[in-house]
């Protein structure tokens, strides 16, 4: 005699057959774990799947690229700190505050360099929505109170704060574990991998997804380029490179990259071992272009920039173009190669989108520039990325990319005084290249394509003329961390000689209101017109003057965000 099951049991049985049982709430929500790996000074031409003419062998990264999507036309800022800040904020370095590498100047002082405190970083977004967050390796996004990883959304940090470190760890190494010194011994690449592995194992079975940020210092210097120096890669890896004919000058560089590739493979295998590979998005990218011997501005390290000219520190394509790939087992179509133009800020938007976090339109008082690459990647590149303008800037080295055209300039401007940038650009003949025909940027088309040149130059000038350069003096972070940021020291009182980015609206108003009548005339707002873009400043004044009475009140200045 057959017995029929109660209706609700029948329904459960059918669900168990047709719907896989989720192992965590993260799976139910469709929120993946994220393993975000960043290499350092890794040239575009030293990812074998990008460029055949390299001695470097990276089978694990090539496998990730072939099993997911590889982007051949990715753009970044050509320096470590600014590039990372762009990836973590979705903005240009001219907007997020990290216009150069982080400095020692305190918040509120002239020349301060750091991510603005009202700008929310990727790690903070993820932490606030339930992700377990860990950062391992190189930070280089600030080491002052309020800037370190534990102040910026990370539950756990192990690594170093500055821009460079020896690969071999000993008692003198400047490693940190959260906020305390960390005495360790071993090789940096192996230690960073081990720490990331422990974090992943600990959180693999959690009810919440994890965000593991693994920032290798490979392949940043110090590198051995002379016989008298010690190799930075383990001897076995150097010998392996030398034995197959790699030159001595390239051997340490090649060995470090191949050692990193091997360690990345260990983490990929770990995801399979733990059964979480299909719920883990892997993103790999280099921070900036390689230090190339062919480029005098980049030092003497033997990086490979492929078909491009230039390297780290400059805005020719050799400094801007780096390896970039994404892999999500079972989700992203395999073998996609995208030639669409993408950039650093897209990583911010892409990872938020993957985590089902709404992408903000603004971050602080400047726009979010990145767009999610997930629709493009999931469609195997069939969903196109709209043509847009990308602006890359470092110490007066400027590159603007729109479609096939690239505008390039080197102006005399070291500090983040964007009015000076505008004045310099107006009086400078820039170079115009067609990258569809001239990857090496050899043929200047400025006089041959005057309309294209004028349009791009106007767009570039308008960008710098309209940046909100204010650095908030208060920490506006809304992150509810258990460990609170260390209190800031009182900011020094600014003097009239200080530059614009470090002043509050009240300070700006007091300095500019020379007659003390409680209003700013146009002349007071402009100040000394020497080498300043007076038309752009006048336009800004008229926009802020909401009553159109020819004078600004403090309230109008505040409402304008100045």
184-208 per-position pLDDT tens digit: 999 999 999 999 999 999 999 888 9
How far apart CA 25 and CA 36 sit, in angstroms, is 21
pLDDT > 90? residue 560: no
Helices (H) and strands (E) in the chain, counts: 18, 20
pLDDT > 80? residue 353: yes
Could you read off the pLDDT of 496-534 as tens digits, one per residue?
333 333 345 666 676 676 667 788 888 777 775 654 556
Q: How much is the pLDDT for 536?
A: 63
pLDDT > 50? residue 250: yes
Q: Which of the two residues, 10 and 434, has the higher pLDDT score?
A: 434
How far apart CA 420 and CA 412 sit, in angstroms, is 9
Q: How much is the pLDDT for 504?
A: 58
Q: How much is the pLDDT for 528?
A: 59
Q: Which of the two residues, 357 and 15, has the higher pLDDT score?
A: 357
Average pLDDT, the chain: 86
Q: How much is the pLDDT for 485?
A: 37
Q: How much is the pLDDT for 468?
A: 94
Tell me the pTM.
0.80
Q: How much is the pLDDT for 544?
A: 82
| Average pLDDT of span 212-228 | 93
CATH topology for 504-559 is Recoverin; domain 1 (1.10.238)
Residue ranges, CATH 3.30.1120.10, the chain: 391-465
CB 271 within 8 A of CB 281: no
Could you read off the pLDDT of 130-165 as tens digits, one per residue?
999 999 999 999 999 999 999 999 999 999 999 999
Q: How much is the pLDDT for 111?
A: 82
Q: Does domain 33-383 have CATH number 3.40.720.10?
A: yes
- Other beta carbons within 10 Å of 560: 17
Residue ranges, CATH 1.10.238.10, the chain: 504-559
pLDDT > 70? residue 480: no
Q: How much is the pLDDT for 441?
A: 98
What are the b/e assignments for 512-547, b being 16+ CB within 10 Å? bbeeeeebbbeebbbeeeeebbeebbeebbeebbee
Residue ranges, CATH 3.40.720.10, the chain: 33-383
Measured CA distances, 217 to 221, 287, 498 (Å): 8, 10, 35
Q: Which of the two residues, 90 and 538, has the higher pLDDT score?
A: 90
pLDDT > 80? residue 297: no
Structure confidence at residue 305 as a pLDDT band (50, 70, 90)? very high
* 3-state helix, strand and coil shares in percent for the chain, rounded to the nearest 5: 35, 15, 50
Could you give the dihedral angle defined by the CA atoms of residues 61, 62, 68 and 72, in that order, rounded to the nearest 10 degrees? 100
Lowest average pLDDT, out of 106-120, 377-391, 454-468, goes to 106-120
Lowest average pLDDT, out of 258-267, 288-297, 412-421, goes to 288-297
pLDDT > 50? residue 494: no
Structure confidence at residue 295 as a pLDDT band (50, 70, 90)? low
CB 141 within 8 A of CB 154: no
The widest CA-to-CA distance across the chain, in whole angstroms, is 102
How far apart CA 108 and CA 502 sit, in angstroms, is 5
Q: Which two tokens stand for residue 244?
A: 């197959």
Structure confidence at residue 478 as a pLDDT band (50, 70, 90)? very low
CATH of domain 391-465: 3.30.1120.10
| Average pLDDT of span 478-484 | 39
Could you read off the pLDDT of 100-123 as tens digits, one per residue?
999 888 888 878 899 999 999 999
Q: Which of the two residues, 395 and 2, has the higher pLDDT score?
A: 395
How far apart CA 98 and CA 185 sit, in angstroms, is 32
pLDDT > 80? residue 343: yes
pLDDT > 90? residue 462: yes
pLDDT > 60? residue 334: yes
Lowest average pLDDT, out of 92-101, 103-112, 266-275, 397-406, goes to 103-112
| Average pLDDT of span 541-552 | 81
Q: Which of the two residues, 281 and 110, has the higher pLDDT score?
A: 281
């Amino acid at each position: 005699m057959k017995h029929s099951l109660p209706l609700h049991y029948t329904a459960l049985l059918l669900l168990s057959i047709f719907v896989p049982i989720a192992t965590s709430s993260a799976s139910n929500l469709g929120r993946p774990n994220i393993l975000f790996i960043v290499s350092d000074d890794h040239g575009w031409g030293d990812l074998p799947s990008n460029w055949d003419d390299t001695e470097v062998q990276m089978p694990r990264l090539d496998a990730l690229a072939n099993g997911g999507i590889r982007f051949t036309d990715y753009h970044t800022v050509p320096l470590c700190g600014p590039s990372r800040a762009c990836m973590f904020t979705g903005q240009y370095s001219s907007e997020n505050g990290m216009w150069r590498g982080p400095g020692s100047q305190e918040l509120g002082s002239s020349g301060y360099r750091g991510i603005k405190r009202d700008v929310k970083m990727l790690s903070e977004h993820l932490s606030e929505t339930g992700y377990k967050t860990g950062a391992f390796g190189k930070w280089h996004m600030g080491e002052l109170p309020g800037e370190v990883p534990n102040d910026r959304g990370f539950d756990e940090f192990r690594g170093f704060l500055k821009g460079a470190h020896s690969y071999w760890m000993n008692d003198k190494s400047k490693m940190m574990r959260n906020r305390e010194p960390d005495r360790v011994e071993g090789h940096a690449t192996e230690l960073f991998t081990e720490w990331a592995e422990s974090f992943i194992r600990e959180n693999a079975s959690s009810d919440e997804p994890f965000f593991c940020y693994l920032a290798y210092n490979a392949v940043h210097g110090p590198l051995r380029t002379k016989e008298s120096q010690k190799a930075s890669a383990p001897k076995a890896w150097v010998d392996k490179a030398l034995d197959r004919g790699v030159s001595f000058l390239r051997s340490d560089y090649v060995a470090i990259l191949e050692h990193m590739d091997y360690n990345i493979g260990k983490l990929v295998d770990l995801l399979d071992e733990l059964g979480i590979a299909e719920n883990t998005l892997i993103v790999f990218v280099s921070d900036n272009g390689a230090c190339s011997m062919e480029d005098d501005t980049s030092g003497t390290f033997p990086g490979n920039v492929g078909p491009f000219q230039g390297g780290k520190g400059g805005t020719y394509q050799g400094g801007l173009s780096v390896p970039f790939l994404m892999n999500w087992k079972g989700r992203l179509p395999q073998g996609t190669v995208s030639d669409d133009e993408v950039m650093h800020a897209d990583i911010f938007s892409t990872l938020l989108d993957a985590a089902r976090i709404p992408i903000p339109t603004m971050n602080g008082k400047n726009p979010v520039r990145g767009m999610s690459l997930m629709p493009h990647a999931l469609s195997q590149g069939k969903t196109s990325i709209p043509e847009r303008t990308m602006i890359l800037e470092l110490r007066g080295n400027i590159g603007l990319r729109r479609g096939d055209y690239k505008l390039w300039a080197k102006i005399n401007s070291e500090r983040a005084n964007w009015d000076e940038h505008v004045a310099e650009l107006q009086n400078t003949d820039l170079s115009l290249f067609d990258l569809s025909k001239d990857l090496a940027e050899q043929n200047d088309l400025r006089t041959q394509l005057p309309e294209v040149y004028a349009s791009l130059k106007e767009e570039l000038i308008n960008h710098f003329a309209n940046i909100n350069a204010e650095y908030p003096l208060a920490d506006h972070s809304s992150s509810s961390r258990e460990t609170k940021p260390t209190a800031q020291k009182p900011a020094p009182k600014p003097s009239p000689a200080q530059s614009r980015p470090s002043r509050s609206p009240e300070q700006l108003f007091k300095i500019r209101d020379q007659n003390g009548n409680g209003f700013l005339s146009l002349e007071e707002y402009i100040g000394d017109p020497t080498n300043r873009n007076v038309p752009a400043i006048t336009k800004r004044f008229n926009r802020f003057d909401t009553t159109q009475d020819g004078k600004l009140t403090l309230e109008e200045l505040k409402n304008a965000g100045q």
